[in-house]
Structure 1
Amino acid sequence: MPSARQHTYETEVVWTGNLGTGTDSYRSYRRTHEVGADGPAPIAGSSDPHFRGDADRWNPEQLLLAALSQCHMLSYLHACAVNGVVVTAYTDRAAGTMTETGDGGGRFTGVVLRPRVEVAEPSMAEKAVALHEDAHRLCFIASSVNFPVGHEPEVTVRPGGPVRPAEG
């Protein structure tokens, strides 16, 4: 069996919400921040509006949900490509539930991914649904969280005729 490969990721989070008096009270600062990494453009972040955050910025809960959705999609597209299923469109409207605890903390209790997949031919539809199980198993992020991640896929067939898989 080949040895496990390790990958290291680095990000930087910089708080931008000091209004001049720092955190001298719960209401005296903004929750705004920038999430960055070498390469991509920064992400404007804040807390959820329920926690005095800005609705026009990404919050950590949304980013976790997006990471699960992205990872599933990328794992799924790979599984389809190596199994002869031609995906022509993919959209996911994921939903997650976070429950607050009495001590001010909280945790996610579950996420449901709802991928809407379009495939090239009717003969691919059944396999396209089944490959979501493989994608779930392969997803690095879903394998790393301690709450259930379900999926409710819907597969349709591309109108207008078949598209053949590319060679190689």
Structure 2
Amino acid sequence: MSKEHKYQTILKWTGNRNRGTENYQAYDRTYEIEVKGKPIVYGSSDPTFRGDKTKYNPEELLVASLSSCHMLWYLHLCSEAGIIAIAYRDIAIGKMEEMKNGSGKFTEVVLQPEATITTESDLKKAKQLHQTAHKFCFIANSVNFPVLCQPSIKQSSNREGDL
């Protein structure tokens, strides 16, 4: 039996400079994303598209969503398998192709998770769990472009978890 989950966000455009969208240069691309009870996320378009480079753009948020979903599944699977992860970071890279007509699409995202596990943990199993996490990731299962995963794992006796 499947379960349905719903997620609500409120998006508010904040870029009206008292001229609305009178012309392409007349407005800012800034907006706010709100989820009840959470801090506001301040967004804009990519600077290439007249956006504010100090704010998150939708493309960055998509790449971050893929990266964080994979991480959360990986940590969950580690905890179930007796793998003690003590540090994790991912430098994820998304590639987007812009078409001649101005539209665009992502062509791939490459996740590069770097995990540190304890020396008692099974290194081979820890590597395999990245494949399982990839299969379970809600966001990766929802996009129509390849999401590649190139993990690296090291072991440490220090449980503080510095990468």
Correspondent of 1:30 among 28, 43, 63? 28
2: CA distance, partners of 1:14 / 1:98:
25
Q: Which residue of 1 aligns with 2:38?
A: 40
Give the gaps of 5 or more residues in structure 2: none
Residue 121 of structure 1 pairs with residue 122 of structure 2: no
Aligned length: 159
Report the AA paired with residue 60 of structure 2. Answer: Q
Structure 1 runs (4+) deviating above 3 angstroms are: none
Q: Evaluate the alpha carbon distance shift between residue 33 and residue 123 of structure 1 in structure 2; reply closer, same or farther with a 3 A threshold.
A: closer
Alignment of 1:1-168 (within 5 A): 3-121=1-119, 123-160=121-158
Q: Which runs of 5+ in 1 are unaligned?
A: 162-168
Instruction: Measure how far apart 1:123 and its partner are.
Output: 4.7
Letter in structure 2 aligned against 1:109:
T
Shift of 1:39: 2.0
Q: SS of 2:122's equivalent?
A: helix
Contact 1:86 1:124 in 2 (8 A): no
Tell me what 1:164 maps to: none
- C-alpha root-mean-square deviation of aligned residues, in Å? 1.1
**How far apart are residue 159 of structure 1 and its match?**
3.5
1:73-131 Cα offsets, whole Å, 9 max, x none, are 00000111111111000000000000011211100000000000000116521111110
TM-score, with structure 2 as normaliser: 0.94
Residue identity opposite 2:105 in structure 1: R
The letter of the residue matching 2:99 is T
Q: Secondary structure at the match of 1:66?
A: helix
Structure 1-normalised TM-score? 0.92
